[in-house]
Chain A
């Protein structure tokens, strides 16, 4: 029983780390621009397809694919900000929602048209192998994903704390006008932030590609989890998203075992509603635009 609990906990944390990184991309964009990107899950779907096709066409492993997918997604994020978010920043929320929801529909239907509805997955030699740690089995692909996430989270933390650009991003989130008075080019910060947000999505999609099948509507589920995590961690709070992701991973692992894996979505929604009822600002507070 004890080993089983350990196994569940390990499963939850390894899975949760992936949720964490995905949610960090979403919360970063919200924290700085106060815009909710409803196409977040669909961008993740694109990243998974990216890693998949790099594997099929060029024989690239999912971790090598990161090197290609991440710069591509950074540029995609910059373009997305410039062409879609920036013109909407001063519009009403309803327009912002329609625009990103519309984009999500275009992306998932485009994927259906171009990539078909088939489930596809990156296969590696080590996909089915696990590390045996005193009776607790940890799949290699999940260990690699976990390691990648922790490295990126740490990197992002140091970037936000130590660099001029990182501080400028936090400053812009806290007071955009004051940041402009410090010489910050706010539009440029917005583009870089969105680029970084989508770069997180690019990494998530790559490390997810040997773990989870990709299909055109895969983004719906991951998008939903990202929203739950972001609300749990406090909207705009990077550290909150990280720990929120781990918590949701654990919740999923435990509820799958003690209740029923099929109830997973129900459990997310119950968690979601509970947070909104009990502590709408999230576990770590949304006012903490600390991004650290």
Chain B
């Protein structure tokens, strides 16, 4: 579904990613793991059209994304739930969700999507008219996730959705991600929460020094000596 090949991305003189290859299969939860500052966010922002790569290609269902501006990528069905939620803080929960349904394709289905999101995240239904900036971290992440789903993604990219949340809330979020996958949406999950994610993802990749160094099935990687030592502290 998504094929990233020999990708190179630079910030001025700094090479953030180089020679990166990544394959995301349809209908799976694919995890992208890596410590702070290895370039996970850089990678998905490049996929989403916010940065232009200096080399390489990103092909999504036959379309080259590296030439498309961010808003076009969304219209094609690749939707990102950004790191740190990035809600519209002065808008209500409902308005944030409605913003998710901005692409023309999603707009027609907005009512139906809203029911779907409320079914998945019932907490949001009680909070529709609350200003997003006043919600707790966990609720904000739910809004961010709901907003992403409102866009009717075919590939949903989540950037560290568990960041800064209490364990119980993290469970809810991951459980929701699993339900999202059940509806046929492919998920690319960027995480540092390695142990938990490896236990439920279909495939996982490890990003180190600007490229993918390791890949495999989730449970398989859980037994990998390098993963155990570097990410699980064993």
The answer on a CB contact under 8 Å between B75 and A171 is: no
- Kindly state whether residue B69 has any CB partner on chain A within 8 Å: yes
**Taking the nearest CB of chain A, how far is it from the CB of B99, in angstroms?**
5
The answer on a CB contact under 8 Å between B91 and A181 is: no
- Kindly state whether residue A220 has any CB partner on chain B within 8 Å: no
**Taking the nearest CB of chain A, how far is it from the CB of B111, in angstroms?**
14
Stretch at the interface among B16-24, B100-108, B180-188, B193-201: B100-108
Out of B80, B90, B100, name the residue touching A174 (CB < 8 Å). Answer: B90
How many residues of A sit at the interface, in one of the four size bands?
20 to 34
The answer on a CB contact under 8 Å between A183 and B71 is: yes
CB nearest to A178 among chain B residues: B86
**Taking the nearest CB of chain B, how far is it from the CB of A85, in angstroms?**
19
Out of A164, A179, A288, name the residue touching B107 (CB < 8 Å). Answer: A164
The answer on a CB contact under 8 Å between B90 and A181 is: no
- A177 to B174 Cα, complex, angstroms: 25
Q: Enumerate A175-190 residues with CB–CB distance to B below 8 Å.
A: 175, 177-186
- Kindly state whether residue A40 has any CB partner on chain B within 8 Å: no
CB nearest to A289 among chain B residues: B90
The answer on a CB contact under 8 Å between A181 and B88 is: no
CB nearest to B147 among chain A residues: A182
How many residues of B sit at the interface, in one of the four size bands?
20 to 34
Indicate with 1 or 0, residue by residue over A232-269, a CB within 8 angstroms of chain B CB atoms: 00000000000000000000000000000000000000
Task: Enumerate chain A residues within 8 angstroms of B74, measured Cβ to Cβ.
Answer: 181-183
Task: Enumerate chain B residues within 8 angstroms of A183, measured Cβ to Cβ.
Answer: 71, 74-75, 102-103, 106, 151
CB nearest to B131 among chain A residues: A290
The answer on a CB contact under 8 Å between A167 and B151 is: no
- Kindly state whether residue B4 has any CB partner on chain A within 8 Å: no
- Kindly state whether residue B98 has any CB partner on chain A within 8 Å: yes
Q: Enumerate A260-292 residues with CB–CB distance to B below 8 Å.
A: 287-290
Indicate with 1 or 0, residue by residue over B127-163, a CB within 8 angstroms of chain A CB atoms: 0000000000000000000010001000000000000
**Taking the nearest CB of chain A, how far is it from the CB of B145, in angstroms?**
13
The answer on a CB contact under 8 Å between A167 and B95 is: yes
- Kindly state whether residue B89 has any CB partner on chain A within 8 Å: yes
**Taking the nearest CB of chain B, how far is it from the CB of A164, in angstroms?**
6
The answer on a CB contact under 8 Å between B91 and A170 is: yes
Say whether chain A's binding surface is mostly helix, strand, loop, or mixed: helix
- A180 to B99 Cα, complex, angstroms: 11
- Kindly state whether residue A168 has any CB partner on chain B within 8 Å: yes
- Kindly state whether residue B70 has any CB partner on chain A within 8 Å: yes
Task: Enumerate chain A residues within 8 angstroms of B69, measured Cβ to Cβ.
Answer: 180, 185
- A180 to B78 Cα, complex, angstroms: 12
Given A171-B91, A175-B88, A180 and B102 contact (CB-CB distance below 8 Å): no
- Kindly state whether residue B39 has any CB partner on chain A within 8 Å: no
CB nearest to B85 among chain A residues: A178
CB nearest to B90 among chain A residues: A290
The answer on a CB contact under 8 Å between B90 and A167 is: no
Task: Enumerate chain A residues within 8 angstroms of B147, measured Cβ to Cβ.
Answer: 182
**Taking the nearest CB of chain B, how far is it from the CB of A101, in angstroms?**
31
- Kindly state whether residue B7 has any CB partner on chain A within 8 Å: no
**Taking the nearest CB of chain B, how far is it from the CB of A193, in angstroms?**
16
CB nearest to B100 among chain A residues: A182
**Taking the nearest CB of chain A, how far is it from the CB of B157, in angstroms?**
10
Out of B71, B80, B99, name the residue touching A185 (CB < 8 Å). Answer: B71
Task: Enumerate chain B residues within 8 angstroms of A288, measured Cβ to Cβ.
Answer: 90
CB nearest to B150 among chain A residues: A182
Out of A170, A181, A186, name the residue touching B82 (CB < 8 Å). Answer: A181
Task: Enumerate chain B residues within 8 angstroms of A171, measured Cβ to Cβ.
Answer: 88, 91, 99
Task: Give 12 CB contacts A-B under 8 Å.
Answer: A167-B102, A171-B99, A174-B91, A177-B50, A177-B86, A181-B48, A181-B74, A181-B79, A181-B82, A181-B86, A183-B103, A290-B90
Interface residues of A (CB under 8 A from B): 164, 167-168, 170-171, 174-175, 177-186, 287-290
Q: A167-B95, A175-B86 are in contact. List 13 more A-B contacts (CB 8 A).
A: A164-B98, A167-B91, A167-B102, A177-B82, A177-B86, A178-B87, A179-B88, A181-B74, A181-B80, A182-B151, A183-B106, A184-B102, A288-B90
Interface residues of B (CB under 8 A from A): 48-50, 69-71, 74-75, 79-80, 82, 86-91, 95, 98-100, 102-103, 106-107, 147, 151
